[in-house]
Amino acid sequence: MEMANAFFCICLSNKKTVILSKKIPLIMKNTFKIFLIFFLVVSCRQNSPEKLPKLKEAFKTQIASFEKEKERANKFVNEGLTGISALQKAINDAANVDKEFNRVYGMWKKVDKRVNDLNQEYQDLRSRADELFGALDRQIESLHDEKNKKDLKAALEKSRGKYNATLVNTEQAIQRLRTLHTEAVDIIKALEAAVAIGQISEINNELKSIEGRVDDIMKELNTTVEESKKVYEDRIQAVS
């Protein structure tokens, strides 16, 4: 009886060993497939000599970030202008004047922060563009076919020249936004001083002057966004 049980255990053990031995190659095969897929994915990511996909994606992300900050700046500037109009009304009505001054100063302090943030986004956008154009230039320069190299370099230089002109206009637009902020705060300071000495002055002309410039500045910044998207979607695709 004991011999029969021992024989049964050996047979059962051998059966498990056979089943396990069949599973091992299958496990190894699946593991190898996973490793191969991972290797191919990593290889594809690293195949571009100048890492163009990564640089293009970084540029695209920065365009969106700049556009978002531009919208924020526009919102806060317009709210600040509305605040100045409300301030003039409060002065005329002699209602909560000090409280209104504090509120409007606070609004334009936020505008100043948004302009600074917008300028930082612009600097980052320019940096991302330089990195991408530089990588494209190096990759084109490495080509052995002289005709391809010549044609692609010409296309790249044209694209880069046009975009650099856009960036110059962007920097000027942000500087105009800074100037506008300074003038708006001066208007508030002048009003506060006028009230303190008992003289109420009208600011309609100064306010209209500022309001008239906001639209032009924002149009210039909108052009920056549009040209950046064109560089990414059209021109960069053509030379990469």
Q: Cα–Cα distance between 218 and 228 in angstroms, integer?
A: 15
Reported as a single tens digit per residue, the pLDDT across 206-229 is 888 888 899 999 999 999 999 999
Task: Tell me: do 9 and 55 sit in the same domain.
Answer: no
Q: Are residues 24 and 72 in the same domain?
A: no
Are both 134 and 16 inside the same structural domain? no
Tokens 């531009």 -> residue: 70
Task: Note the pLDDT of residue 17.
Answer: 46
In total, how many domains does the chain have?
2
Confidence band for 238, pLDDT divided at 50, 70 and 90: low
C-alpha separations of 176 from 71, 101, 198 in Å: 16, 24, 33
Residues 147 and 200 in one domain: yes
How far does CA 94 lie from the centroid of its chain? 45
pLDDT digits (tens, 9 = 90+) for 162-219: 999 999 999 999 999 999 999 999 989 988 888 888 776 667 778 888 888 999 999 9
* Separation CA 170–CA 217 (nearest Å): 9
Q: What is the mean pLDDT of residues 40-69?
A: 78
What does pLDDT average to over the chain?
A: 80
In this predicted structure, what is the pLDDT of residue 19?
Answer: 46
Q: Are 113 and 40 members of one domain?
A: no
- pTM for the model: 0.74
Same domain, 65 and 7: no
* Structural domain harbouring 20: 1-47
The answer to whether residues 38 and 55 belong to one domain is: no
Arithmetic mean of pLDDT, 8-26: 46
Query: What per-residue confidence (pLDDT) applies to 237?
Result: 59
Q: DSSP assignment, residue 27?
A: H
pLDDT digits (tens, 9 = 90+) for 110-164: 999 999 999 999 999 999 999 999 999 999 999 999 999 999 999 999 999 999 9
**Hey, what are 117's tokens?**
């943030």
